[in-house]
Amino acid sequence: MLKVGLTGGIGAGKSEVSRRLAAFGAVIVDADRIAREVVEPGTPGLRAVVEAFGESVLTPEGTLDRPALGAIVFADPEKLRVLNGLVHPLVGARSAELEAAAGPEAIVVHDVPLLAENGLAPLYDLVIVVDASPETRLERLLARRGMAEEEARARMAAQATREQRLAVADLVIDNDGPLEALEPQVRKVWDELLARAAARTD
């Protein structure tokens, strides 16, 4: 098994790279999706979040109100640390289960937004960083996600710097350009992953 960490700042296009790697045959372990699963109604994760942040982070239907929680934690680094402390161990445990189920021949790509922030690079055989300039990322967040500029800048500021992410990269995918420029880069990275996986089994 080849264990790969995939990361990139918000708006860099990591999810698009993840989708393309999945199409080539990678087993994707999506930390964001798992983070949503572990705080679904009735889970110990949701109970812990409500105990820490109060009933105001719930919708009337009893699900997690992500915008309300985001408004609390992205404005306060200490509260963000508390939230991460609750959710990350649950995400880690579920990620390990999915990885184990993938099988010994698999190329398992862990899609982890906060890989650099949480010092997770040593957990993987190699790390891929999807890179784009802060200007490009901001433009995408405003145009494609409809974020207010203040919220977009706050979310970007809450993450690692571009330099911190690139410092942990073994492979870099430059996604500053148009979408059509992405496909050949992802294919080249996939070929590299296949070669590394084959080298491990020789």
Those residues with Cβ within 8 angstroms of residue 52's Cβ, 6 or more apart along the chain or in another chain = 82, 83, 86
Type of residue at 163: E
Q: Where are the domains of the chain?
A: 2-201
| Contact yes or no for 8/131 (Cβ under 8 A) | yes
Q: Is the pTM of this model over 0.85?
A: no
In the sheet with 126-131, reading across from the earlier edge strand, the strands are: 27-30, 107-111, 2-7, 126-131, 171-174
Q: State the first-to-last Cα distance of the chain, in angstroms, to the nearest integer.
A: 12
d(CA 125, CA 110): 11
Q: What is residue 202's predicted lDDT score, i.e. its pLDDT? A: 62
Q: What is residue 75's predicted lDDT score, i.e. its pLDDT? A: 83
How far CA 117 is from CA of 83, 84, 164, in Å, comes to 14, 11, 8
d(CA 19, CA 127): 17
What is the CATH number assigned to the segment(s) 2-201? 3.40.50.300
Which residues of the chain register pLDDT less than 50? none
d(CA 28, CA 21): 8
Q: What is residue 74's predicted lDDT score, i.e. its pLDDT? A: 83
| Contact yes or no for 169/128 (Cβ under 8 A) | yes
